[in-house]
Structure 1
Amino acid sequence: MVTELPSSLESRIADYYTGFRGVGPTRRTRYLNFGYWAPGCDDLDDACEKLTDMLADAAGMREGDRVVDAGFGYADQDLHWLETRRPELIVGLNITPSQVEIARERVRERNLADRLDLRVGSATDMPLAAGTFDRVVALESAFHFDTRQDFFREAFRVLRPGGGLAVADVIPLGGRREERIRDLNAVWGGFVPPDNLYDRDTYAERLREVGFADISVQDISGNVYRPLLDHLRRHLGERGDLQMSEDVLAWGMAQYMTHTEYAIASARKPVGPE
């Protein structure tokens, strides 16, 4: 039987990410994602940045856009998008105050506060006016949201007609839901609401229920899990906070590869009735 998570889920996640420094040895950035290991990606920084570019492409991000970034970590992707996509404004929401403060300092150092507005706030209750943004994105954070469906509703609300949503997300494979919840919680430590544990087809249906159109949920696992595992094995122990045995590392990644797929989801808010 699935047990309900306590109402303090967001605070527990915030506490966890206060000390979290990522899945592996990044050198030039503070990205926290698994990365997309395209040909030519020689390190985790390159792979994380490639995933960031893919997410922006999926959202249709372009110059002059107003963007919401839900769960922005240390804002590496936002700084990258300001340089490469040139949106007018990015508003970031993050429930971990320590990450927000560090990210704000990075913004101040670059004199970008007029274009990058980083806030402590929830993706499921956005303090933003309806119909005022062109893109909403979530980079490897939406599986934590309590719930992801509430995030979809909020994204739909704040988007302008014709606006785009894009999510880089970890989702369970189809079938045997109860077993997958048990096994995934062994990896995720109960930081993912059971209501978020549904497969790719259900993911698309949840977006459709909210009102989105032009929905795509694409599995990119082949360029995420195995190459990340290979990279971490090569660099095991290279950085002080990567103190884990190869057996533990292999076990954790095996759970992801056995029970989940890594997906890029995209959708559009219709301009009119469809």
Structure 2
Amino acid sequence: MSDNTTDRFLGYLNWLFNPFHGLQTTEVYDLIGTSSLTEHALYLNLGYWRDADTIDEASEELALLVAKRGGMAPGDTVLDCGYGFGDQDILWARNIKPEKIIGLNITKSQVERARMHVADAGLGKSVNLREGSATEMPIENESVDLVVSVESAFHYRTREDFFREAFRVLRPGGRLVTADILPTENSDNLFRRIEQWISWNLVAGKFNIPHENYYLTPSYSNKLSNAGFINIDIASIRNDVYKPLHEYLSVNRTFVGKLHPLAKILAQLTLDRSAESVYCGLDYILSYAEKP
């Protein structure tokens, strides 16, 4: 084992067992590698389970829900921030056919795999996946109709910078849609509040959610408004995400075998606990906003 490999392994080991040690976002997703929760695709989202029976269906349903909420349509230029392996972009290109989809992602290993994925699908002309930051977008002013972020905005340093950049690149009348993770409102019960605190901080620590992004829905709305957005609408869909996902994965654990050995330990420990305990500190929102 080389020195670099040893250092990386020890870093991952520290990440798993040390509650005060986190990883950078790119390190988290390099650890996950090309594994995903899905069985037949490479989606990394948690899924929208209202009318879905499998993780593949739920992951597609979430991508389609985001597209529908944003009014994605033929002729649109879409900017997808944090596109993972590009599965949702392929889905949108095939089913909705926007004129162009541009993607930004900072994890190089995902960028390379996603580009191959798009090329294999024959969609290289309409889907342009780039390596770049959602908080410093290499995108021209007022050149995009729809900005979307599916389960990635909580990583950004900071989400407010992302809102400002999204506002800058959107044309007048453009829309911003996020599927995002926030903390839940604190319970009046002290023991429940402690459980919520543990739930949030474990997730925030392991998956690099900066403290600057720790706030509730009213603050989320205010920050969108401060960035210049109007017609803001934020809905919690947590009941159609966490519990059904947990129930499905507790029975169908095939994805666990695809994970890095250390990530596998964390997944198994999580699935052995109840959904109510694991996710009690996490809200899940679908957010919509418009540029005047």
> Which residue is equivalent to 2:201?
185
Distance (Å, rounded) in 2 between the aligned partners of 1:149 and 1:23: 28
When residues 246 and 127 of structure 1 are mapped into structure 2, their CA distance, relative to the original with a 3 A threshold, is closer
Matched, 1:266 2:288: yes
When residues 238 and 16 of structure 1 are mapped into structure 2, their CA distance, relative to the original with a 3 A threshold, is closer
Sequence identity, in percent? Answer: 40
Q: CA deviation at 1:248?
A: 2.9
Point out the structure with the larger helix share: 2
For the aligned residue pairs, the C-alpha RMSD in angstroms reads 2.2
Matched, 1:30 2:32: no
Q: Which runs of 5+ in 2 are unaligned?
A: 1-21, 188-192
Distance (Å, rounded) in 2 between the aligned partners of 1:134 and 1:188: 31
Code of the residue aligned with 1:263 in structure 2: it is I
Distance (Å, rounded) in 2 between the aligned partners of 1:154 and 1:132: 12
Code of the residue aligned with 2:213 in structure 1: it is N
Distance (Å, rounded) in 2 between the aligned partners of 1:255 and 1:198: 20
Distance (Å, rounded) in 2 between the aligned partners of 1:248 and 1:182: 13
When residues 38 and 156 of structure 1 are mapped into structure 2, their CA distance, relative to the original with a 3 A threshold, is same
Q: Which runs of 5+ in 1 are unaligned?
A: 1-8
Aligned pairs for 1:39-188 within 5 A: 39=51, 41-175=52-186, 183-188=199-204
Distance (Å, rounded) in 1 between the aligned partners of 2:176 and 2:199: 29
Distance (Å, rounded) in 2 between the aligned partners of 1:238 and 1:86: 31
Distance (Å, rounded) in 1 between the aligned partners of 2:272 and 2:164: 36
Q: Is the 8 A contact 1:229 1:250 kept in 2?
A: no
Q: State the TM-score, normalizing by the size of structure 2.
A: 0.82
Moved more, 115-124 or 189-198: 189-198
Distance (Å, rounded) in 2 between the aligned partners of 1:92 and 1:239: 28
When residues 122 and 255 of structure 1 are mapped into structure 2, their CA distance, relative to the original with a 3 A threshold, is farther
Distance (Å, rounded) in 1 between the aligned partners of 2:255 and 2:124: 34
Distance (Å, rounded) in 1 between the aligned partners of 2:127 and 2:69: 21
Distance (Å, rounded) in 2 between the aligned partners of 1:95 and 1:145: 11
> Which residue is equivalent to 1:198?
215
Q: CA deviation at 1:22?
A: 5.3
1:212-231 alpha-carbon deviations (Å, 9 max, x no partner): 01101100011101100110
Match of 1:240 among 249, 257, 264: 257
Q: CA deviation at 1:181?
A: 6.4
When residues 105 and 16 of structure 1 are mapped into structure 2, their CA distance, relative to the original with a 3 A threshold, is same
Distance (Å, rounded) in 1 between the aligned partners of 2:171 and 2:129: 21
Q: Is the 8 A contact 2:42 2:87 kept in 1?
A: yes
Q: CA deviation at 1:12?
A: 1.6
Q: Is the 8 A contact 2:204 2:210 kept in 1?
A: no
When residues 144 and 181 of structure 1 are mapped into structure 2, their CA distance, relative to the original with a 3 A threshold, is farther
1:68-96 alpha-carbon deviations (Å, 9 max, x no partner): 00000000000000011111111100010
Q: State the TM-score, normalizing by the size of structure 1.
A: 0.87
Partner SS, residue 79 of structure 2? strand
> Which residue is equivalent to 2:245?
228
Code of the residue aligned with 1:122 in structure 2: it is S
Q: CA deviation at 1:247?
A: 4.8
Distance (Å, rounded) in 2 between the aligned partners of 1:172 and 1:239: 26
Q: Is the 8 A contact 1:78 1:116 kept in 2?
A: yes
When residues 183 and 230 of structure 1 are mapped into structure 2, their CA distance, relative to the original with a 3 A threshold, is closer
Q: Is the 8 A contact 2:90 2:121 kept in 1?
A: no
Distance (Å, rounded) in 1 between the aligned partners of 2:29 and 2:150: 15
Distance (Å, rounded) in 2 between the aligned partners of 1:195 and 1:27: 34
